[in-house]
């Protein structure tokens, strides 16, 4: 989506936004009760070589929305996926199984 010179990928639905705002749960991406990452929001400016992590949310094994704590606060635009994989390997997390790559939303 491109509105007023801003480019957004994977926009959020109103239902999920409400669920995020209502959630008080927080867990690490290494928590075994984290079933799936549903949204990783990355922000940047054009020309900046990095993405800032705005927030990350997921679903627990019992179906509740939770904020997810990640071991990084920014990612390079070049080789972003490779960088995530390296963090995941170091933490013993299977990023693809968690659905992280399909949950990325960018705003630039």
Query: What are the tens digits of pLDDT across the range 3-13?
Result: 555 677 777 77
pLDDT for 29-49, tens place per residue?
A: 999 999 999 999 999 998 999
Backbone angles phi and psi of 16, in degrees to 5? -70, -35
Alpha-carbon dihedral 78, 81, 86, 88, rounded to 10 degrees: 150
**SS3 (DSSP) at 100:** helix
Q: Is 91 in contact with 51 (CB distance < 8 Å)?
A: no
Domain coverage including residue 101: 2-107
pLDDT mean across residues, the chain: 90
* Confidence (pTM): 0.86
Total of domains in the chain:
1
Q: Tell me: pLDDT of 100 over 80.
A: yes
Alpha helices in the chain (DSSP H): 14-22, 80-91
Q: State the burial class of residue 56 (Cβ atoms within 10 Å of its Cβ: 0-12, 13-18, 19+).
A: buried
């Amino acid at each position: 989506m491109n509105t007023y010179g801003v480019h957004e990928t994977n926009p959020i639905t109103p239902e999920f936004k409400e669920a995020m705002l209502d959630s008080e749960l927080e867990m690490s991406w290494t928590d075994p009760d984290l079933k799936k990452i549903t949204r990783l929001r990355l922000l940047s400016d054009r020309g900046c070589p990095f993405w800032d992590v705005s927030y990350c949310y997921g679903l627990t094994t019992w179906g509740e929305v939770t904020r997810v704590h990640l071991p990084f606060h920014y990612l390079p635009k070049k080789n972003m996926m490779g960088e995530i994989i390296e963090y995941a390997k170091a933490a013993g997390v299977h990023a693809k199984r968690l659905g992280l790559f399909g949950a990325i939303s960018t705003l630039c």
